[in-house]
Amino acid sequence: MQSFQYGKTKIDYSVEYIKGKKDVSLSVCLSEGVKLVAPEGFDTGRLETILYKKAPWILKKKSELDEVADAPLPKEFVSGEKLLFTLRLKSKV
């Protein structure tokens, strides 16, 4: 896991490199956190520039996911009960 500093906030992220990919994708989800998917051999410095540029969006999405992730109640599986599902937010950079 890598990280970068945005103001006073440290943001952890992971990078997956894929051969043949043409653009960089950025996603924020509960299970994987912040994840970049980039073309194989993509410059690390450019990835950090993208992350810094997208940091306000990342922090907003992480905040939204934190609200969803707050202590789910035990499920009884009765008619009309709501179920929590993982939401994956993506942004093409």
The pLDDT tens digits of the residues spanning 57-85 come to 999 999 988 877 665 666 677 787 776 66
In order of 16, 25, 37, 73, the CA distances from 62 in angstroms are 20, 16, 18, 21
For the chain, the average pLDDT equals 86
Q: Measured between alpha carbons, how far is 58 from 54 in angstroms, rounded to an integer?
A: 6
- Tokens representing 51? 């992350």
Q: Measured between alpha carbons, how far is 60 from 66 in angstroms, rounded to an integer?
A: 10
Residue 47: band (very low, low, confident or very high) from pLDDT cuts 50, 70, 90: very high
| Size of the chain, expressed as the number of residues it contains | 93
Closest by CA to 21, choosing from 3, 47, 41, 39, is 39
Residue 93 has pLDDT above 80, yes or no: no
Residue 21 has pLDDT above 90, yes or no: yes
